[in-house]
Copies of this chain bind each other. A is one copy, B any other.
Amino acid sequence: MSEWNFLPDGSITSTPGFLAAGVTAGFKRSGAPDFAMIYSEEPANFAGAFTSCTFAAAPVQICRRRVLSSEFIRAAVINSGNANACTGETGLANADATCVLAANKLGLRSDEVVVSSTGRIGVQLPMETIRKGIDLAAAALSRDGGSAAAHAIMTTDTVPKSVALQLELDGKPVTIGAMTKGAGMIDPKMTVPHATMLCYITSDVKADNALLRTLLASCVAESFNRITVDGDMSTNDTTILMANGRSGVELRPGSEATEKFRRALLAVMQKLAREMVMDGEGATKFVTVKVIHAASENDAKLCAEAVANSLLCKTAWYGGDPNWGRVVAALGYSGAEFDPDATDIFYDALPVVRRGGDAGTPEETLVDVVKQREFTILVDLNGGSAEYWVWTSDISYEYVKINADYHT
């Protein structure tokens, strides 16, 4: 029996005490929903993880301030269609003003509000649209608004991504709800505590900010930092974890309940990470690249990421082509230390490379593996005890189309 149950139609508002809304403010020409708000009935402890990009967007800079100086937060506002990145002092002032406007509307202090933006880089935020979004969203806040919020943060995503689960801790039910967006500019090079994409997570446990931060960093490292779609990292990547304490369950560092909560949080984040790869721009395949028996975790990581980011591997997967030569070439230029003549490669359970050469499995059989929607490439370096894995997608015509046409 699993330690937790995923809830049908689960979302950020599956967690008691959190309201949300998703509305159309007018950032997108299409008229699709583009403004989301999350509201916590109680002050919520929180932690954040952010992009390591040098050009961190204005809203990321605001979030970092909150993490440094706010004990609690009460609300988050998120717009899609405009990233408010590379917008200088005006952009920072606009992100700040967004929090002030939302705080005034909701009867909060502005340091209780966090803000995220996603969309075009280098364009100033239209503040009248922000104002309209805040008015509409505040009026629409509801206990079942999680799904609408997940819709409103989408950009090139084809499906909204929401999830929630329940587990029992200390005999009491605890909920974790989450939503994420992200279909391009996805890459795993971030280092904890830097993270990836827009993701908001709610829970009703009680935990201080330091513990939430530790839990979030640990789970980011094994979820969002393990995925890549195109090897491009965003200026706006943000993950926020909020906990309002309403369940009455208090987490303390090192307790059994905390470890159980961590596993559940990881399950939520891995589920969303998988969904992001599955919904990667133009993606038709979900590929796990796992490297085992490496001399160090870093060698395993270099190998796994080289294969996962290789354009030649990704286009071969798109073509349903087992072409293991491209996997070998990527391992070879990865910079990892290993013995090529000791290397074995498997596609699912089938041996492909044995001691650096063709393992002799008939090509037709290998084609059956890589024609699947989902498969695993296992690289056994036979040289140590370290391992690493990443999740990735193929690169299709559709990827090129989406990204050549995005702007116009």
A window 209-248: CB within 8 A of B: 230-235
Interface assignment of A387: CB less than 8 Å from any CB of chain B: no
Interface assignment of A330: CB less than 8 Å from any CB of chain B: yes
Interface assignment of A399: CB less than 8 Å from any CB of chain B: yes
A window 79-102: CB within 8 A of B: 83, 85-88, 91
Mark each residue of chain A from 95 to 124: 1 if its CB lies under 8 Å from any CB of chain B, else 0: 000000000000000000000000011110
Find chain B residues with CB under 8 A from A87 CB.
357-358
Interface assignment of A331: CB less than 8 Å from any CB of chain B: yes
Interface assignment of A338: CB less than 8 Å from any CB of chain B: yes
Check A357 against B122 for contact (C-beta < 8 Å).
yes
Mark each residue of chain A from 314 to 325: 1 if its CB lies under 8 Å from any CB of chain B, else 0: 011011011111
Q: So how many copies of this chain end up in the complex?
A: 2
A window 302-318: CB within 8 A of B: 309-312, 315-316, 318
Task: In the complex, identify which listed stretch (A15-23, A164-172, A181-189, A197-205) lies at the interface while the others stay far away.
Answer: A181-189
Find chain B residues with CB under 8 A from A395 CB.
311, 400
Given A315-B404, A319-B408, A397-B400, check contact A235 B328 (CB 8 Å).
Answer: yes
| A319 CB contact (under 8 Å) in B187, B230, B353, B404 | B404
Check A55 against B234 for contact (C-beta < 8 Å).
no
Interface assignment of A260: CB less than 8 Å from any CB of chain B: no
Find chain B residues with CB under 8 A from A353 CB.
86, 122
| A396 CB contact (under 8 Å) in B329, B332, B400 | B400
Interface assignment of A368: CB less than 8 Å from any CB of chain B: no
Interface assignment of A2: CB less than 8 Å from any CB of chain B: no
Shortest beta-carbon distance, A121 to chain B, in Å? 2
Interface assignment of A29: CB less than 8 Å from any CB of chain B: no
Q: Kindly report which residue of chain B lies nearest to residue A187, judged by CB atoms.
A: B333
Given A185-B329, A338-B54, check contact A318 B404 (CB 8 Å).
Answer: yes
How many A residues touch B, CB cutoff 8 Å?
A: 68
- Bound Cα distance A322, B235 (Å): 18
Q: Kindly report which residue of chain B lies nearest to residue A309, judged by CB atoms.
A: B231
Interface assignment of A139: CB less than 8 Å from any CB of chain B: no
Shortest beta-carbon distance, A331 to chain B, in Å? 7
Given A328-B121, A330-B232, check contact A88 B55 (CB 8 Å).
Answer: no
- Bound Cα distance A231, B306 (Å): 10
- Bound Cα distance A408, B370 (Å): 13
Check A325 against B121 for contact (C-beta < 8 Å).
yes
Interface centre among A52, A54, A331 (most CB of B within 10 A): A54
Find chain B residues with CB under 8 A from A309 CB.
231
| A55 CB contact (under 8 Å) in B185, B312, B318, B356 | B356
Mark each residue of chain A from 45 to 81: 1 if its CB lies under 8 Å from any CB of chain B, else 0: 0000001111110000000000000000000000000
Mark each residue of chain A from 141 to 174: 1 if its CB lies under 8 Å from any CB of chain B, else 0: 0000000000000000000000000000000000
- Bound Cα distance A358, B395 (Å): 31
Interface assignment of A259: CB less than 8 Å from any CB of chain B: no
Check B235 against A332 for contact (C-beta < 8 Å).
yes
Q: Please, could you name 14 A-B residue pairs with CB atoms under 8 Å apart, sorted by A?
A: A85-B329, A86-B353, A87-B358, A88-B355, A122-B324, A122-B357, A187-B333, A231-B309, A231-B311, A232-B326, A235-B332, A311-B399, A315-B399, A315-B403
| Smallest CB-CB A-B distances: 4 pairs | A121-B325, A319-B404, A53-B332, A315-B403
